[in-house]
C-alpha cells in the first residue's frame, strides 16, 4: 500500500519497471548520501522532481514494505567499526521484501571516500533471522574484502522496517530511495519516527540533481545508519559520536516517548576491532 502522505505525489510520476531500473542503475558499488526530511515536505519535493525522475512501479504499487535484520558479533564489532569510523567497515543483514516474500542475505562494505559495495545471496524467507545457512558466503566475502569479524558468531541485533519508494534519474543513471514509516526494535524496546523520511541518493560518485535540489533548500546530508543509529538510539550506553547530532535532533525525543531505556552491553575494547 502506498503511504497516504505521498501516495498522490508518487501516482503523478512516470513509472519504470524493475528490470529496467536494475539494468540502468543497479549500482552495487556506489556513493550514498542520506537526508532526513520531514514527511510533510515530501509532496513538494516529489512535485519538483517530477520532470526528471521515474518511480518504480510493480503491479500498480509504488511503495513497498521492507524488513532488515542486522547481525553482529556479541561484542558489536560491526557497530564499533562504524562508531569509531574505521576505514574499512562491514554490515551483515537479511533484506526481506515483504510484499513479494523475496529475501536476500547481504554484506555491505564501506571503503574509501564513502564508497559502498554490496554483495548479495538469495536467501530463504524462513531463515531471515539467522546467518547460519549463509555463513560461508559471509566469511568468504569478508575475507575477500580483507575484513575479519574475528571468527565469532553473528547474532541478530536489530530489526528495522519501513515503506520504500524508489526513483530512477535516467539522465544520471542514479537512484533515490524514500523510506517512510520508520520502525526499529531489538527485542527489548521499539522506536518509531513517523514524522520523518530518510531520502537516500545512490550515485557512482558525483552529486545527483536530487542532492543539488535538497542543498538549495538548505537540507544537508545527515549522519545516519539504519543499523548503527537505530541501535545507538535504543542502547544509550553505546558510543555514538558520529550520529550525535542526528540522535539529539531526531531520535532521542522519539526514544523517550516510546519508553526506550539504556541497555548495558559488555564489549571489551580489544574485541571491538573489525580488521
Q: Beta partners for 203?
A: 31
- Vertex 182: Cα angle to 224 and 131 (nearest 5): 75
What does the pLDDT look like over 83-114, one tens digit per residue?
Answer: 998 878 899 999 999 999 999 999 999 876 66
Query: Per the domain annotation, does 99 fall within a domain?
Result: yes
Strands of 73-114 (E only): list them: 89-97, 102-110
Backbone angles phi, psi at 51, to 5 degrees: -70, -15
Length of the chain measured in residues: 275
| CB 227 within 8 Å of CB 93 | yes
Instruction: Give bridge partners of residue 178 from the DSSP assignment.
Output: 165, 199
Residue at 246 is within a domain: yes
- The answer to whether residue 215 is domain-embedded is yes
- As for how many domains the chain has, the answer is 1
In a domain, 268, yes or no: no
Q: Could you tell me which of 8, 19, 42 has the C-alpha nearest to residue 217?
A: 42
Residue 270 lies in a domain: no
CA distance 262 to 265: 10
CB burial of 21-37 (b: ≥16 within 10 Å; e: otherwise) equals: beebbebeebbbbbbbb
Residue 269 CA from chain centroid, whole number: 26
Measured CA to CA, the distance from residue 95 to residue 207 in angstroms comes to: 26
Domain presence at residue 29: yes
Phi-psi region of 261 (alpha: psi -120 to 50; beta: other; left: phi over 0): beta
Residue 274 lies in a domain: no
Q: What is the pLDDT along the chain (275 residues), one digit of tens a residue?
A: 456 568 889 999 999 999 999 888 766 566 889 999 999 999 999 999 999 999 999 999 999 999 999 999 999 999 999 999 887 889 999 999 999 999 999 999 987 666 778 899 999 999 999 999 999 999 999 988 888 755 679 999 999 999 999 999 988 778 999 999 999 999 999 999 989 999 999 887 778 889 999 999 999 999 999 999 999 999 999 999 999 999 998 886 555 444 444 333 333 343 444 44
Q: Residue 246: give its domain's CATH number.
A: 2.40.320.10
Tell me if 70 sits within 8 A of 91, measured CB to CB. Answer: yes
CA dist 139 to 25, 85, 146, 247, Å?
27, 22, 10, 32
Q: For residue 255, tell me if it sits in a domain.
A: yes
C-alpha 55/C-alpha 46 separation (Å) is: 10
Q: By the 8 A CB rule, do 251 and 226 touch?
A: no
| Residue 243 structural domain | 7-260
Amino acid at each position: 500500500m502506498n503511504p497516504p502522505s505521498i501516495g498522490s505525489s508518487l501516482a503523478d510520476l512516470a513509472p519504470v519497471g524493475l528490470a529496467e531500473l536494475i539494468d540502468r542503475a543497479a549500482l552495487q558499488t556506489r556513493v550514498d548520501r542520506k537526508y532526513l526530511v520531514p514527511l510533510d515536505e515530501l509532496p513538494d519535493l516529489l512535485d519538483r522532481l517530477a520532470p526528471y525522475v521515474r518511480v518504480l512501479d510493480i503491479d500498480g504499487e509504488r511503495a513497498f514494505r521492507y524488513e532488515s535484520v542486522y547481525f553482529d558479533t556479541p561484542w558489536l564489532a560491526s557497530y564499533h567499526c562504524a562508531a569509531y569510523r574505521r576505514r574499512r567497515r562491514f554490515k551483515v543483514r537479511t533484506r526481506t521484501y515483504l510484499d513479494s516474500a523475496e529475501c536476500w542475505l547481504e554484506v555491505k562494505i564501506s571503503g574509501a571516500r564513502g564508497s559502498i559495495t554490496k554483495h548479495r545471496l538469495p536467501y530463504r524467507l524462513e531463515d531471515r533471522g539467522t546467518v547460519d545457512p549463509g555463513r560461508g558466503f559471509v566469511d568468504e566475502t569478508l575475507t575477500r574484502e580483507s575484513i575479519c569479524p574475528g571468527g565469532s558468531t553473528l547474532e541478530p541485533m536489530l530489526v528495522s522496517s519501513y515503506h520504500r519508494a524508489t526513483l530512477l534519474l535516467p539522465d544520471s543513471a542514479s537512484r533515490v530511495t524514500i523510506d517512510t514509516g520508520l520502525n526499529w526494535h531489538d527485542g527489548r524496546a521499539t522506536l518509531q519516527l513517523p514524522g520523518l523520511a530518510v531520502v537516500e541518493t545512490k550515485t557512482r560518485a558525483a552529486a545527483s540533481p536530487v542532492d543539488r535540489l535538497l542543498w538549495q533548500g538548505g537540507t544537508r546530508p545527515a549522519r545516519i545508519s539504519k543499523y548503527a543509529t537505530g541501535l545507538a538510539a535504543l542502547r544509550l550506553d553505546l558510543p555514538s559520536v558520529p550520529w550525535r547530532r542526528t540522535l539529539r535532533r531526531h531520535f532521542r525525543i522519539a526514544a523517550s516517548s516510546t519508553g526506550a531505556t539504556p541497555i548495558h552491553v559488555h564489549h571489551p575494547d580489544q574485541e571491538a576491532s573489525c580488521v
